[in-house]
C-alpha cells in the first residue's frame, strides 16, 4: 500500500554497542546518523535482536517493537517515541 511507512530497523545489540562506544546517555536520530547507522531521512524502528543489558540510555526513535521496549526498560533505559 502507498501509505505504508518504511522503517530502517536497528537492533538492540547495535544500540548497546553504540552506547558503549560513545558513552551517550541519549541515543537519538542525530547520533545514529552521525555514526553512519542511518541515512538523513530514515524513520527508525528498534527491534529486539541482541542484548540490551548494558543499554541504560534513553532511546529516541520513531518506533519500537514491544519486545524492544521491554528489553530497554528492563536494562534501566527509556524508550521514547518521536514523530
**Range 1-29 average pLDDT:** 93
- Is residue 2 predicted with pLDDT exceeding 80? no
Q: What is the pLDDT of residues 64-80, one digit of tens each?
A: 999 999 999 999 999 99
- Of 76 and 1, the structure prediction assigns the larger pLDDT to 76
The cell for 59 is 532511546
Provide CB contacts within 8 A for 3, sequence distance 6+: none
The distance of Cα 34 from the centroid of its chain, to the nearest Å, equals 14
Amino acid at each position: 500500500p502507498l501509505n505504508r511507512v518504511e522503517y530502517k530497523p536497528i537492533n538492540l545489540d547495535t544500540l548497546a554497542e553504540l552506547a558503549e562506544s560513545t558513552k551517550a546517555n541519549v541515543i537519538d536520530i542525530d547520533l545514529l546518523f552521525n555514526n553512519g547507522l542511518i541515512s538523513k531521512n530514515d524513520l527508525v524502528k528498534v527491534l529486539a535482536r541482541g542484548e540490551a543489558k548494558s543499554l541504560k540510555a534513553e532511546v529516541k526513535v520513531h518506533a519500537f517493537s514491544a519486545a524492544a521496549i521491554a528489553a530497554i526498560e528492563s536494562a534501566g533505559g527509556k524508550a521514547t517515541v518521536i514523530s
